[in-house]
Amino acid sequence: MGGKRHIAKPERFWAIDVKRKCVCALPPASRYITLNYCWTRGETLKLIKANAVGLLRTGSLEKVMQELPRTIQDAIEFVFDFGEAYLWVDALCILQDCNDEKQFQLSQMDRVYGSA
């Protein structure tokens, strides 16, 4: 009965850089924390084609923090205070308006959570 089973990290993997306050491609061999939560009703900020480039800019999430559900705001603060750098949240780490990409990412959920 060995230790933790190795699970390959997901491909084309995006995360929130809680120190730089932006979405980024997760650097190789980086650790990350995942947030599992219930989506709120109504409109909330999501990663879509129209805002993807903007959300990659350092500091971009500071400008739109109030558009995020309180759960995500609290998770970003927690991960930062905990001393980790990266957080994975489906709304901001999966391109929500590209069905092919969304389906590809959804097919990797076991790896997303298993590698966290």
Of 104, 72, 73, the C-alpha closest to 91 is 72
In three-state secondary structure terms, 23 is strand
pLDDT at 2: 47
Is 30:17 a contact under the CB 8 Å cutoff?
no
- Predicted confidence at residue 74, as pLDDT, reads 97
User: What's the order of all strands across the beta sheet hosting 14-17?
Assistant: 22-25, 14-17, 86-88, 33-34
Distance CA 20, CA 18 (A): 6
pLDDT (0 to 100) of residue 66: 92
Q: How confident is the model at residue 1 (pLDDT cuts 50, 70, 90)?
A: very low
User: pLDDT over 90 for what percent of the chain?
Assistant: 62
Best-predicted range by mean pLDDT (8-17, 34-43, 44-53, 99-108): 44-53
pLDDT over 70 (residue 8): no
Please name every residue paired with 10 in a beta bridge, in sequence order, or none if there are none: none
